[in-house]
Amino acid sequence: MLAEPADQQKLLNLADLDAEMGRLQHTARSLPQHQRIAELMAERQSVADSLVEATTIVDDLGVALRRAEADLVPVRARLERDRTRVGDGSISDGKTLKGLIDEVARLERRVNELEDAEFEVMARLEDAESTAKEMSARRDEIEATLRDEVGIRDQKVKGLSTEAQGVTAARKGVASTVPPALLVMYDKIRAQRGLAAAKLHRGRCTGCQLEITVADLDSYRKAPANQVLRCVECDRILVRTADSGL
């Protein structure tokens, strides 16, 4: 392909702008906030699951505590009645009195058992409520941190987007001055290799960083100034400059 040297030089400007755009896109994708946000979202889900579990346990233990308290009410009432009967002297029959005293002892043991069970449920409920409170506080802490990280990310992305818009506008301006056929070639190579045009600098392709052979340098030297050169190693467009070594 033939193109004026000045037009070939424009390809280097395009390559610089495309490289800058690539850098901006890479920076946007590689922001540390992306990973931090993902970690926080995963932790938030884990804490939310733990909070649901803890809340369920609290609810279940609340039901168990009310049941334990309800079980104690009739036993305590009966124990109080029997103690009153034993103490008021209303029972004169010795055998009946002994049976009632034995019943009082049995009821006292039963009350102790039920109270122990109640205390155990109360202790478990206290632990579960503490866990639920901790999970709730941790969830709120994660939410606050997540909002901060999202805000930082969005601010950085906005700044990079503004820069990218400037690069896009500059590229559009340069591309509009490049001959269509040359631009098509450039864009095709860029789609395949990323970097489409590179300087021929002191006998080296700055695209693949390989030295050009003596024979190839000789052919480049003999080529007309308006002939578009291609690197024999990476197939990128080679743009000649004063430092090409030709």
* Domain match, 157 and 235 both: no
Instruction: Say if residue 147 is in the same domain as residue 42.
Output: yes
Question: Residue 131's domain spans which residues?
Answer: 31-167
Pair (232, 140) in one structural domain:
no
Q: What's the pLDDT score for residue 69?
A: 95
CATH number at residue 39: 1.10.287.1700
Residue 202, phi-psi category: left (phi > 0), alpha (psi -120 to 50), beta (remainder): left
Same domain flag for 44 and 153: yes
Residue 173 lies in a domain: no
| Residues 100 and 214 occupy one common structural domain | no
Same domain, 21 and 137: no
Question: Would you say 238 and 231 are in contact if contact means Cβ atoms under 8 Å apart?
Answer: yes
Given this model, what pLDDT does residue 94 score? 80
Same domain, 163 and 55: yes
User: Average pLDDT for consecutive 10-residue bins of the chain (246 residues)?
Assistant: 96 97 97 97 97 96 96 95 87 84 94 95 96 96 98 98 98 97 97 95 95 94 96 96 87
Mark whether 82 and 100 lie in a shared domain. yes
In this structure, the answer to whether residues 90 and 70 fall within a common structural domain is yes
Domain match, 123 and 195 both: no
The tokens describing 215, both together, are 């024979």
Last residue of a domain, one of 167, 197, 228: 167
Q: Which residue has the tokens 């946000």?
A: 37
101 and 139 part of one domain: yes
Give the total number of structural domains in the chain. Answer: 2
Q: What is the pLDDT of residue 92?
A: 78
Q: Both 102 and 184 in a single domain?
A: no
